[in-house]
Amino acid sequence: MKDSLIALSKDALSSLRDLAPIVLVIAVFQAFVIQQPVSGFLSIVFGGLLVVAGLTFFIFGLRIALFPIGEDLAHSLAHKGSAFWLFTFAFVLGFGTTIAEPALLAVAEEAAEVAVGAGVIADTEEAISNYAMGLRLVVALSVGVALILGVLRIITNWSLPIMIIGGYILVVIVTTIAPAEIVGIAYDSGGVTTSTVTVPLVTALGVGLASSLKGRNPMTDGFGLIAFASLTPILFVLVYGIVMQWI
């Protein structure tokens, strides 16, 4: 019990540290540059406390429940699993962690509201939640595929720069035929997918895999999975935009 309390307060401190620079910068700008009363100040402070509490509970829960199982699984599958299960695991890990990613949830909803404002989708609750969910599913699917590619690369020892640069070139080509209103959301989704939930589990998979293969250095070969997970969402969301345009 005492240990959990210590762990919980450590998580609380790190959530506070996440928020601190934002609070500091905004406070300085409000005090010295803008110098105007802030409307809804109390609601913002209360919301800030909710953010810190929520993030603290979220990360604490992940650490005592999901991370140990996920990391164990990643290690044992990397060491003795069959190729089929390894790829299946890579896919569901990418898909599942991305669906649970808070930043993606937030951005997908914001994107849906902007789409309503621009008249791209109807202003009904159903249309909004469908749009946001569609976006999240596409991004989650793309991260699943990214991890399959990344695992394949670690096993076959293909060149990471060539694959990533090839991906970039593909992104630039697909952008030219994608509808303009999807481009910004697509490019942003690359950076949104990989944070709190995804990075620890995915890193465990990569490093576990590289350390179980002969002649690989976990320090250098274990990385690169996140790189794929930041690239494929751009491509998939662009294609999603093109396909939705036809329907």
Partner 1 sequence: MDLIVNAFLFVFNSALDVAPIVFFLFVFQLFVMRERIRNVQQVLVGFVFVTVGLGLFLVGLEQTLFPLGRLMAQQLTNPEFLFELTGHIGDTLVWQDFYWVYLFAAAIGFSTTLAEPALMAVSIKANSVSGGAIGVWGLRVAVAIGVGVGVSLGCYRIITGLPLQYFIAAGYVVVIVQTAMAPKMIIPLAYDSGGVTTSTVTVPLITALGLGLAEAVPGRSPLLDGFGLVAFASLFPIIAVLAYGQLSVIRQTKPVAVDEEEELPEEDKHAL
187-246 residues in contact with partner 1 (CB under 8 A) are 187-188, 190-197, 199, 219-221, 223-227, 229-230
Site for partner 1 in 85-124 (CB under 8 A): 85, 89, 92-93, 95-97, 99-103, 105-107, 110-111, 114-115, 117-118, 120
Least distance to partner 1 from the beta carbon of 246, Å?
Answer: 19
**What is the dihedral sign for C-alpha 34, 36, 38, 39?**
negative
Site for partner 1 in 164-183 (CB under 8 A): 164-165, 168-169, 171-172, 175, 180-181, 183
Determine, following the binding rule CB under 8 A, whether residue 161 of this chain makes contact with partner 1: yes
Least distance to partner 1 from the beta carbon of 247, Å?
Answer: 19
Nearer to partner 1, 14 or 124 (CB): 14
DSSP one-letter string for 129-171: HHHHHHHHHHHHHHHHHHHHHHHHHHHHT--HHHHHHHHHHHH
Site for partner 1 in 22-51 (CB under 8 A): 22, 24-26, 28-29, 33-34, 36, 38, 40, 43-44, 46-51
Angle (CA) 176-178-182 rounded to 5° is 125
Question: 151: closest CA among 231, 74, 95?
Answer: 74
Least distance to partner 1 from the beta carbon of 75, Å?
Answer: 11
